[in-house]
Chain A
Amino acid sequence: MTFAVQDALSVNPIQPGRWWLSVPRGQATASWIDALAASAHDQWPGRVAVLDSSATLISNLQVWENLILPVWHRENNPLNALEERVVMACELAGMTDAQREKFVTCLPAMLDRGGRRLAVLLRSVLIDPDCVIVEDEFWRDMTSQAADAPQVRLFHCLQEIPCFVVVGRLPKSSGFVSVDVVE
């Protein structure tokens, strides 16, 4: 997307609110997520969380390094201060100390899809974002799971963020303002 994302949409979703962007057929959801993320970073530098269905982690970093990377890069804090925040985020997900130790010291290749999504959600919570961009498939999976699942607990926390944008082809859920692509 080389154009300003706001010009191509009926409403600018990069502002406080709960937005549902319906991507037309023939256009890639990933491209819209990239464009929205870039636009959101212009407004809230380093305070944007993206939850796409692939739940990508950096493969040559351990999970704990993946969790702290965005916030470490943004704030340049000492590692021990970030460690405390990782512990708090894991407690929020309901993980025990042993579960946390096992989880954060493994490499992303050792995680299944659920584990990767948990890591991505923990990373997003640690960012302390002003804007959350979610792919519709991720949204559907999180809203269809039991409320006490660790991923769902973290996802509920992220839904409190003022700017929450869901992007994809699924029909709009209630509680969201529809955003359409202007032809």
Chain B
Amino acid sequence: MLSFLIHTGLPVLMRQSLFPLFFLWRTLPALRSHAVRRVLLKQIYFTSNQAAYLVSAIGFSLGAIVVLQIHDQYGQSWETALRVLGRLGLSELAPLFGSLIMVARSSSAVASELVNMRAGGEFRCLTHHGIDISGYLLLPRVLGMTISAMVLSGCIALFSMMGGIIFSAGWDAGYQVAQIERMLSPDLILICIAKSGMFGGAAALLACAIGLLTRPVPTEIPKAASRAVFFGIMLLFIIDFVWSLIL
């Protein structure tokens, strides 16, 4: 990572290229524009809607695996297994898996798209028309990926509970669904939303930063895509580790 930072001449590039990211919050009024909202909705569609089936299947399997392992390997009751799943799923598994899948699918796309646009002179073209790069390109991507991470994590949490309930209760699943408030609590749901939002926002900012820092030549586009995924996954685990230490 250090060689990448030195190779790209980070100190100079940070001033020149990352400037739009530092003050991204100032571009929030850009969301009043239909054109910007269209980019945001497209980002949410491609990042979360198209991945929803995949994360639902993963969540369902994950719930079933966790419940079966806790019951079979550790001899806990089905109810205890479901409670563990509820706590573990919402506080750790759902935000982490949801964000990992989002990084694997979308970070590479965002980084390579930005490098490609710079290489093709599209940033310059937008500037020529008085369109702010931060407001039109970066803000919708960062917001879209943040929202998508929350949606995907929610899907994983929901489907993991479904998987756990179906595999533990079988035909009596209705009873367990009625008792769901014993497994879930509002603070756990808030942790899931906050954590996944933080993961998504951080991964999106990193993908945009890599897209802005990489030299705008065609040979660098695949490298930018792979860096965005690699460093994105690393960043998620670092944030999760720090979160665990603090909270």
15 further contact pairs, Cβ within 8 A, besides A30-B124, A34-B128, A48-B128: A33-B128, A37-B127, A46-B129, A46-B130, A48-B130, A50-B128, A57-B122, A59-B120, A59-B122, A69-B35, A69-B131, A70-B131, A73-B35, A73-B136, A78-B34
Q: Is the CB of B130 within 8 A of A54?
A: no
Interface: A58 (CB within 8 A): yes
Q: Which residues of A contact B (CB under 8 A)?
A: 30, 33-34, 37-38, 41, 45-46, 48, 50, 52, 54, 56-60, 69-70, 72-74, 76-79, 127
Q: How large is the interface on B (under 10, 10 to 19, 20 to 34, 35 or more residues)?
A: 20 to 34
Judge whether A56 and B129 touch: CB under 8 Å. no
Q: Given A69-B131, A73-B136, does the pair A58, B126 have CB atoms closer than 8 Å?
A: yes
Contacts of B136 in A (CB 8 A): 73
Chain A residues with CB under 8 A of B34: 72, 76-79
Q: How far is the CA of A52 from the CA of B125 in the complex (A)?
A: 9
CB–CB A59/B116 < 8 A: yes
Given the interface pairs A59-B117, A76-B32, the reply to whether A70 lies near B127 with Cβ below 8 Å is no
Task: Using CB atoms, name the residue of chain B closest to A41.
Answer: B130
Whether B3 is near chain A, meaning CB under 8 Å from some CB there, is no
Complex-state Cα separation, A77 to B121, whole angstroms: 27
SS class of chain B's interface: helix, strand, loop or mixed? helix
The 5 closest A-B pairs by CB, nearest first: A70-B129, A50-B128, A56-B125, A73-B35, A56-B121
A33 to B127: give the CA distance in the assembly, Å. 11
> In chain A, what residue has the closest Cβ to B30?
A73
Binary interface encoding of chain B residues 116-147 relative to chain A, with 1 for a CB under 8 A from any of its CBs, else 0: 11001110111111110000100000000000
Q: State whether A57 touches B130 (Cβ < 8 A).
A: no
Closest Cβ–Cβ distance, residue A46 to chain B (whole Å): 5
Instruction: Report if B113 contacts A (CB, 8 A).
Output: yes
B219 interface residue (CB < 8 Å to A): no
Given contacts A73-B33, A73-B136, are A56 and B122 in contact (CB under 8 A)?
yes
In the complex, what distance in Å separates the CA atom of A73 from the CA atom of B129? 9
Q: How far is the CA of A87 from the CA of B55 in the complex (A)?
A: 43
Is B131's CB under 8 angstroms from A73's CB? yes
Contact of A127 with B129 in the complex, beta carbons under 8 Å: yes
Are A56 and B130 neighbours in the complex by a CB distance under 8 Å?
no
Which residues in A have their C-beta under 8 angstroms from that of B131? 69-70, 73
A172 → chain B, closest Cβ, in Å?
Answer: 23
Which residues in A have their C-beta under 8 angstroms from that of B130? 41, 45-46, 48, 70, 73-74
Alpha-carbon gap, A136 to B70, bound state (A): 73
Contact check, A58 vs B128: say whether CB atoms are below 8 A apart. Answer: no
Chain A residue nearest in CB terms to B121: A56
Query: Across the interface, do B35 and A56 meet the contact criterion of CB distance under 8 Å?
Result: no
A94 to B131, CA, bound (A): 29
A84 to chain B, nearest CB (A): 16
Residues of B within 8 A of A73 (CB): 33, 35-36, 129-131, 136
**A179–B122 CA distance with the chains assembled, in angstroms:** 28
Whole-angstrom CA separation of A33 from B125 in the bound complex: 11
Complex contacts, A76 vs chain B, CB 8 Å? 32-35
Q: Complex formed: what's the CA distance from A37 to B123 in Å? A: 14
Q: What are the residues of chain B within 8 A of A48 when measuring CB–CB?
A: 128-130
Q: In the assembled complex, how far is the CB of residue A8 from the closest CB belonging to chain B, in whole angstroms?
A: 19
Closest chain A residue to B137, Cβ basis: A58
Q: Which residues of B contact A54 (CB under 8 A)?
A: 121
- Beyond A70-B130, A76-B34, is A58–B125 a contact (Cβ under 8 Å)? yes
Which of B34, B117, B129: most chain A Cβ within 10 A? B129
Which B residue's beta carbon lies closest to that of A79? B34
Contact (Cβ within 8 A) B125 A57: yes
- Contact string against A for B residues 83-103, beta-carbon threshold 8 Å, 1 for contact and 0 otherwise: 000000000000000000000
